[in-house]
Amino acid sequence: MKVAGLNAHQIAIKLGRHHITVGKYLKAPSSYGTAIKGTGRPIKCTPRDKKRIINMVREESMSTQDISKAMGHKICKSTVSTILNKSTLRYNKFKID
């Protein structure tokens, strides 16, 4: 269609697409549709850390605050709680006086 002398807006009307979408394709057809994946938020702890946290609860029945301290405050107690909630492990929350 571009060869026929139509501009991006006219092609977009015929195809039923937005003119910016058509323009991006015409500008670089080889790279169209290959989006660059964003890096996202970095993870707080590695899978090894997650296993270590679960094992601490299984073996020693530690609180989230104690686990956070045992991990060297690398992760906070709310992150520990989230990891435990997402795991298949059942645990009871309790208060420390």
Taking alpha carbons only, the member of 41, 45, 68 closest to residue 56 is: 68
pLDDT tens digits for range 35-92:
777 778 888 788 999 999 888 888 887 888 888 898 887 888 888 888 888 887 765 6
Pick the more confident residue, 11 or 31: 11
Rg over CA atoms, the chain: 26
Task: Read off the pLDDT of each residue in 2-6 and give the average, rounded to a whole number.
Answer: 72
Question: Which pLDDT does position 13 carry in this prediction?
Answer: 92
Task: List the chain domain ranges.
Answer: 1-33, 47-86
Alpha helices of 1-97 — where are they, by DSSP H? 8-15, 19-27, 47-60, 64-70, 77-86
Half-sphere CA count of 67, side-chain side, radius 13 A: 27
Q: Is the dihedral of CA 85, 87, 90, 96 positive or negative?
A: negative
Q: Confidence band (pLDDT; 50, 70, 90) for 18?
A: very high
